[in-house]
Structure 1
Amino acid sequence: MKQAREYPQVKVSKKAEHAIIKGHPWVYFNEITEAQPFENGELVDVVSQKGSYLGTGFANENSKIRVRLISRNANDKFDEAFFERRLRHAIDYRKTVMGDDFSNCRLIFGEADSFPGLTVDRFGDILVAQVLSLGIEKRKKMLFELLAKIFAQDNQPIRGIYERNDVAIRELEGMEQYKGFFPLEGYPIPDSTETTITENGITYAVDFENGQKTGFFLDQKYNRLAVAKLSRGKRVLDCFTHTGSFGLNAAKGGAEYVLSVDISESAVEMAQKNAKANGLDGKVEYLAANVFDLLPKLSEGEMINRYGKFDFIILDPPAFTKSRQTVESAMRGYKEINLRAMRLLPRGGYLATCSCSHFMTEQLFVKMLHQAAADAGVSLRQIEARQQSPDHPILWNVEETNYLKFYLFQVV
């Protein structure tokens, strides 16, 4: 006789059933055909049209993603021990794949770690978390206390957990926006929202209260090293520099000169501080400017006299699209900056280019690069095709986890 389940049932369409069987963890609102009453943010069992168990997840009628699965094992008990095992698995994975870089990495990457809607980045003894699902929100006290316990037991105690919940997507889940330190029992609230990290031998100041996302982009860690290896003796233009990371890696890699550009004056100020802290301010010049306006001007005589010519250009723009509806306009934006860069480079010059939007798929990004190269009248000799660092693991059955495209080319 079947054991009675304690969770409300949600019956889903054949389409949703096939997606779940293939490993996708989301059920959309229009895929539900029948549902027993449930409390938002609590667990429900997802079943097929025939009533077969498919998985258990957090439900929320405020969200288009109506159910976010956390398990497909009918024997799982979703107690504190279950979530502690999950956290330890995620942390042990980072220790394995990141090695000496474990001190600064992404600890939890949402669905890729079976914590839907949860991001946790580690900056030394500070953890920065972002909670985007109501199911996690209701359990975050337990999860945060478990994280503190795990690190304490590992003789790597943390000082605090800062929440960067100042994102509009929370409102779609019925949650408010805010940011601040989470009150961990027995842990005094740190008196600063800035810290320092060392990555690839370069020290950075990280403003985890006001910086983009959680304060620093950890996913490009090894792509920056790839750039450093190509930079010796080069004159480098680093576009969309943010905190200056690509430009600083180029300078540390032996670049003759680096011009780092960002439209944000505060980002440029932070990047300048980072350059000075590393003794690289003599090699890197900073400019607050719109890259779209700057690239065509850099081929003009006055600008050549001012900045010289470049033989290595790095394009690390923010996501130009965050939905399928804006992919076409994003394509135009990506093509414009890549076309301009290809025209600006001499034959034999080098180009690093990337996209961090999962809506800009690999296929679309490659198509755009082919079009830009054709219009620029150049050929691209591929050096490397790369992705995000392994602390942001890609689940092959969850395409949303595969978002970063990074290419290194010689322009010939």
Structure 2
Amino acid sequence: MKQARPYPKATITKKAARTLAQGYLWVFEGEVESIAPAAGGRPVENGAIVDLFEENGTWQGAGLLSEESKIRVRVLSKNANDRFDEGFWRRRILWAWEHRKAVMGARSLPGAEPDTNCCRILFSEADGVPGLIVDRYEDVLVAQVGTYGMELRKEMLFPLILDVLRSDGQKIRGIYERADSPARRLEGLDLHKGWWKEPGVPTPDNARVMAQENGLLFDLDIENSQKTGFFLDQKYNRRAVRELAKGRRVLDCFSHVGPFGLNAAAGGAEFVRCVDISDTAIALAQENARLNHLDDRMDFTCANVVEYLPELVKSKARLKEEGGPFDLIILDPPAFTKSRSAVAHAKKGYREINEWAMRLLPRGGYLATCSCSRFMTTRLLEEAIAEAAHNANVQLKQIELRQQAPDHPILWGMPDTHYLDFLTFQIV
């Protein structure tokens, strides 16, 4: 590279250069051989933008430095003409918002709210803003800042996000920070949550949001619920369940605040039983059923699904007590693994819950099952389901293999952005 660059120079290994060329956007601690100060002697600082050079001097891109993380550099751009000023970040945010409008703007259910009213606005690397996630729930944005570099820039980024949306006619009353993920400690960041103080604008007085998805109302507690308050990535998968549910008795396992179960009931299910280990989630699910006038066809159980399913298989009386037999079972478990080293144990967990569900279902019944762990690849999940079917002595007729909603885009070359697989089957 001939032109002078104002950034520190990180020399990376040949292996790192190869993976970057294939579209990967992370450079790990052991792949950085050295970091030299920028021209003029400006010191290397945590969170700074650094240039990446292969050992032979070939420029490979520029990214954000995280001195305390094993992911040492997250690539921002492979375009040497990019200048990382306010205009650069505004373009990234605008492109992300325009993408949501393009892929979700025309998919709303008849008479329902626009799908862009509740969606992920920014998805980290997949939208060119590594370390930043922003979800929209009607007129509230919930932000997760996960890297040191983004923490340094959030006071610039948050106003830009608000300006892009408001300039497009979107009414947004504030940004709530969920900076309470333990992963922040790996970046040397503190944990906190609360309303970001927008200059000159009063802070909202509570963290409850009444949101609509697929025409259903959800009372969300964005301060205390998991992640940013809701699992937006399953929006269209919940519609797939709704289409299967008419006239069926449904068991919704790992139900959280009830979105799959409510979609099944809205789709005409005869009865829906929601099961979750969290009594707080069950209470919110009951409230959401009442809000949507579906509580007459729904009931709720606070239980550990891993223990609950075998109980139903072993006891017909217990099954009847819970509203069974069921002919549609939904399995939406939390990630059984957050590391590659625990994949074998996680696969066993997925196999077991699917086997118990298959043993409960009659011939002709339906199973909707998924994994939300990026380490549990599609192939591994399919293997676990196939083993479960073999053990349960059933055959599966696949209906669909689906993934996360398109507001959580999958970036080819960056497998970490593909984390959700959702499959539906008929038992034959």
Q: TM-score range by the shorter chain?
A: over 0.9
Q: What is aligned with 2:4?
A: 4
**Secondary structure at the residue paired with 1:92?**
helix
CA–CA separation in structure 2 for the residues paired with 1:343 and 1:126: 43
Partner of 2:264: 250
Note the 1:303-314 alignment, pairs <5 A. 303-306=318-321, 307-314=323-330
- How far apart are 1:252 and its partner, in Å? 0.4
Task: Note if contact 1:260-1:284 (Cα within 8 Å) is conserved in structure 2.
Answer: yes
Report what 2:66 is aligned to: 60
Residue from 141, 153, 156 that aligns with 1:142: 156
1:86 partner SS = helix
Task: For 1:17 and 1:206, locate their aligned partners in 2 and report how far apart those are by CA, in whole Å.
Answer: 44
What is the distance in 1 between the residues matched to 2:163 and 2:245? 43
Matches within 5 A, 1:98-113: 98-99=104-105, 100-113=114-127
Shift of 1:253: 0.4
Q: Report the alpha carbon displacement of residue 154 of structure 1 after superposing the two structures with TM.
A: 1.7
1:10 shift after superposition: 0.4
The answer to whether the 8 Å contact 1:220/1:388 transfers is yes
CA distance in structure 1 between the aligned counterparts of 2:238 and 2:104, rounded to whole angstroms? 15
1-side partners of 2:284 and 2:193: how far apart? Answer: 21
Deviation string 1:222-255 (CA, Å, 9 cap, x unpaired) is 0000000000010000000001000000000000
- TM (norm. structure 2) is 0.95
| Aligned counterpart, 1:201 | 215
> Among 351, 359, 368, which residue is 1:335 paired with?
351
Residue 28 (str. 1) matches residue 41 (str. 2): no
How far has the Cα of 1:328 moved from its partner?
Answer: 1.1
1:153 deviation in Å?
A: 1.5
| Residues 299-340 of structure 1: per-residue CA shift (max 9 Å, x gap) | 313213312311110000000000001111111111110000
1:70 to 59, 64, 76: 76
Aligned-pair CA distance for 1:115: 0.6
SS of match in other structure, 1:227: helix
Alignment gaps of 5+ in structure 2: 38-43, 106-113
Which residue of 2 is the match for residue 387 of structure 1?
403
Rounded to whole Å, the distance in 1 between the matches of 2:9 and 2:185 is: 26
- The answer as to 2:308 corresponding to 1:302 is no
RMSD over aligned Cα atoms: 0.9
Structure 1 unaligned blocks of 5 or more: none
CA shift, 1:32, in A, is 1.2
Counterpart for residue 87 of structure 1: 93
Please give the alpha-carbon distance, in whole angstroms, between the structure 2 residues aligned to 1:151 and 1:76.
Answer: 24
The whole-number CA distance in structure 2 between the counterparts of 1:149 and 1:229 is 38
TM-score by length of 1: 0.99
Amino acid at match of 2:407: D
Q: Does 1:96 pair with 2:110? A: no
Amino acid at match of 1:115: V
Distance 2:320 2:270 in 1: 17
Distance 2:316 2:120 in 1: 44
Deviation at 1:155? 2.1
Matching of residue 267 in structure 1 with residue 281 in structure 2: yes
Q: State whether residues 250 and 258 of structure 1, in contact with CA within 8 Å, keep that contact through their aligned partners in structure 2.
A: yes
The aligned counterpart of 1:223 is 237
Shift of 1:105: 0.2
Equivalent position to 1:278, from 289, 292, 300: 292
* Residues 171-205 of structure 1: per-residue CA shift (max 9 Å, x gap): 10010010011111122100010001111111101
Match for residue 44 of structure 1 among 39, 43, 50:
50
Task: Give the Cα–Cα distance (whole angstroms) in 1 for the partners of residues 346 and 207 of structure 2.
Answer: 33
Partner residue in 1 for 2:367: 351
Within the alignment, does 1:127 sit opposite 2:141 as a pair?
Answer: yes
In 2, distance between residues paired with 1:16 and 1:308?
Answer: 54
Secondary structure of the corresponding residue to residue 282 of structure 1: helix
Q: Does 1:403 align with 2:409?
A: no
1:27 alignment partner AA: V
The residue type paired with residue 187 of structure 2 is E
Q: Is contact 1:39–1:60 with CA below 8 Å preserved after alignment?
A: no
Q: Are 2:192 and 1:178 aligned?
A: yes
Q: Alpha-carbon deviations, 1:127-162, whole Å to 9, x = none?
A: 000000111110001100111112221222311100
Render the CA deviation track for 1:250-297: whole Å, top value 9, x for unaligned: 000000000000000000000000000000000110010111111111
Separation of aligned partners in 1, 2:426 and 2:219: 32
| Contact 1:148 1:157 (C-alpha < 8 Å) held by counterparts | no
User: How far did residue 48 of structure 1 move?
Assistant: 0.8
**Shift of residue 348 of structure 1?**
0.9
Give the partner amino acid of 1:302. A
- 1:216 CA displacement: 0.4
- State the identity %: 54
Q: Which amino acid aligns with 2:124?
A: G
- Number of matched pairs: 412
What's the counterpart of residue 206 of structure 2? 192
Amino acid at match of 2:71: I
Distance 2:36 2:293 in 1: 63
After the TM superposition, list the runs of 4 or more consecutive aligned residues in structure 1 that deviate by more than 3 angstroms: none
Which residue identity does 1:365 align to in structure 2? L
